[in-house]
A and B are shown apart, each in its own frame.
Chain A
């Protein structure tokens, strides 16, 4: 997501509701963000304020939960997090870095104004650095294109970015048709307008300080989209880690399968029901600690946990498990003493 400061100093509302400026939809948890989650307000002195609109899951800046309705002035490199991190994820879904982008400082075309402005701007270094407007526009458009690329990994985000950019284009279009025309001529194929190109006449009217502020570009990147390849690798690693933990912790030490009908002994060691029954026929002691078995209780929590995990696994594993379960149930079903017992019972009944 890239939000740029326009000259209008528009207040932006972010949230999942229909009447917001930037709509954010969570793919993981639909109610993660509130309808009007937070507000970004450009201040007159060139900064942005973020306000938590009493949202359910809150706004965090650098990990600190903001007080609802109390404005916080963002400074570059602040990490803004909307909503909370889900338990099974390493990163929150809505996390952004607040960046200031100095490279988009514009130059003005008009002679005197340009000189003054540039001097004012670069007064400290004593250098005036003027670039022809057309090339400058080109440059900025290129720059913008790279921004879009950076954010384009998420389609939704791209759409949002485009929406914002298009809005910018319309503003500019009303005020300054020539520049838009130039942009379109130069970069038709990009399909991206330059939202930051200022209305020339308005620029002249404003004082230089204000101009400078208006041109200040504030960019919020979606951190996830920038770090996308890395994030994917991290997710994979996390998944692998979870798998290995499961393999070792939720496995029966007798059959080396994920527990099937887990039973916990009085010594707290757990085995499959089939495995421990088989072993108890030979010896009534725990296979791990050799403590005498006095109780053998089904572990509901472990069973549910394993079942849920298996549901998310490959079809092969699920199939293997079904076969195993069938084989074990079958074996229990054809217990010879039970059949004999049943037979005798029926015999005596009639």
Chain B
């Protein structure tokens, strides 16, 4: 059962984050307003690869899903759409291997800071390739990336 206090805190936070993202979005980002329902539990953010990087000119879509425990629980973030970036930390089903989305999540982080982290993760890529275990993972993983036991070993990318 949802607790009233948690629900209220989640609503206010999401409203505030949405406003901030609409008013002052990070470069190349845009919230798809049509994708947002009244409950604010699911957003789609359109993003562009930063100029001067391997992803320049490419367009991606990020799907954010918020549970009723947000911001204590991290949002579920995956790439969706036709163009999934080819990156050592992004699986071809859109799942992202990023520590702040699971164990390093903090309630002080926000949609905006997650977007920035993902852009910076893409921007620092030197070699466009899929993760080595892509085929196996995509075949066996849960639909929800948060159910995956991620193993964060590479801090360079």
Contacts and interface: CB of A to CB of B under 8 A. Distances in A.
B67 to A, nearest CB: 13
Nearest to B20: A256
Given A282-B72, A324-B5, A330-B4, A256 B106 contact: no
Interface string B69-98: 001100000000000000000000000000
B4 A254 contact: no
A279 interface: yes
Contacts of A253: 107-108
A287 B108 contact: yes
B16 interface: yes
Nearest to A251: B16
A255 interface: yes
A327 interface: yes
Given A278-B72, A279-B72, A282-B72, A254 B108 contact: yes
Nearest to A324: B8
B135 to A, nearest CB: 34
B106 A287 contact: yes
A123 B128 CA distance: 92
A327 B10 CA distance: 13
Interface string A250-284: 00011111000000000000000011001100100
A275 B106 CA distance: 12
A256 B11 CA distance: 10
Interface in A291-349: 323-324, 327-328, 330-331
Contacts of A278: 6, 72
Nearest to B12: A256
Interface string B102-145: 00001110000000000000000000000000000000000000
B9 A255 contact: yes
A275 B108 CA distance: 11
Contacts of A256: 9, 12-13, 16-17
A327 B4 contact: yes
A283 B83 CA distance: 36
B3 interface: yes
B71 A254 contact: yes
A225 B12 CA distance: 42
A331 B16 contact: no
Nearest to B109: A287
Contacts of B6: 278, 331
A278 B6 CA distance: 10
B12 A257 contact: yes
Closest 3 CB pairs of A and B: A255-B9, A287-B108, A327-B5
Interface of A: 253-257, 274-275, 278-279, 282, 285, 287-288, 290, 323-324, 327-328, 330-331
Given A254-B107, A324-B5, 5 more contacts: A254-B13, A257-B12, A278-B72, A287-B108, A290-B106
27 contacts: A254-B71, A254-B107, A254-B108, A255-B9, A255-B12, A255-B13, A255-B71, A256-B13, A256-B16, A256-B17, A257-B12, A274-B5, A275-B9, A278-B6, A278-B72, A279-B72, A279-B107, A282-B72, A287-B106, A287-B107, A287-B108, A288-B106, A324-B5, A324-B9, A327-B5, A330-B4, A330-B5
